[in-house]
Structure 1
């Protein structure tokens, strides 16, 4: 299975890859998102180490069961060869109605078919008031005319 754009990445194709990942994650569909990873993909997500597409799908199902109204923006920080570094921010609420914003960085490594074989994520989050929310588009894909991450100064 091939998942274009393929490495080596250019400025344009790295940005496309990041936007495709953002769109998939904003779908909050664990099965759809997991297909972007190799069957033996290795993740570090905060303090959790995850191996394999099935484990990724299970992790994402747990994540989105507790992170409600999830909205994410990703932005390329750097790229070279088959690697892309992105920074991101996302907002969500818990089942008690408390809002949070998470910030982080991810390092991605892709195989020749464009599937992610390694993802290393460092994430911090903090509570925010509902009035502090910045991501207000309808659930799903961020509209093309919605500001990106740099526009918010995050």
Structure 2
């Protein structure tokens, strides 16, 4: 079965589905696959870095996931209106020295009429954690449906 395209204007139901699809894609840690959800000329602000277009998105994500190891992400809808969605998220990862982090953030998204993201603004803060404080436990890949989301985790 092919997934329904999720296009603006978003309802609460389609916005929630769009957020979960984005989470699922990012949890693949496949830069080429993730980049296909964005317009060819998509513009990003990620922390203090500006990225434009799919080629730069692939490069950015390749560098990100080479540095952020065992990455697991949870996203949650914050708000939606027309072609825009706001999300909050948390992800856990470790560096090559074995130090663990939880990164918290917010994203603002704007989509074109075909449902591709044309603008992404992300603000992110990293918090060092002990491995024993990790809360995102599942095999690498898609978060299982039974695993709590951000609200269920108390984030």
- How much does 1:148 deviate? 0.5
Query: What is the aligned partner in structure 2 of residue 45 from structure 1?
Result: 46
Query: What is the aligned partner in structure 2 of residue 141 from structure 1?
Result: 142
Q: 1:1-150 residue pairs with structure 2 within 5 A?
A: 4-150=5-151
Distance in 2 between residues matched to 1:58 and 1:4, nearest whole Å? 26
Distance in 1 between residues matched to 2:76 and 2:37, nearest whole Å? 18
Task: Give the ranges of 4+ consecutive aligned residues of structure 1 lying more than 6 Å apart after TM superposition.
Answer: none
Distance in 2 between residues matched to 1:137 and 1:149, nearest whole Å? 15
Cα RMSD for the two superposed structures: 0.8
Q: Deviations over 1:10-43 (max 9, x none)?
A: 0100000000000000000000000000000000
- How much does 1:67 deviate? 0.4
Normalized against structure 1, the TM-score is what?
Answer: 0.98
- How much does 1:153 deviate? 1.4
Distance in 2 between residues matched to 1:4 and 1:62, nearest whole Å? 29
Aligned residues: 152
- How much does 1:59 deviate? 0.2
Q: Deviations over 1:76-134 (max 9, x none)?
A: 00000000000000000001100000000000000000000000000001100000000
Distance in 1 between residues matched to 2:135 and 2:104, nearest whole Å? 13
Normalized against structure 2, the TM-score is what?
Answer: 0.97
- Mark the runs of 5 or more structure 2 residues left unpaired by the alignment: none
Distance in 1 between residues matched to 2:154 and 2:126, nearest whole Å? 16
Distance in 2 between residues matched to 1:12 and 1:69, nearest whole Å? 30
- Mark the runs of 5 or more structure 1 residues left unpaired by the alignment: none
Distance in 2 between residues matched to 1:122 and 1:93, nearest whole Å? 19
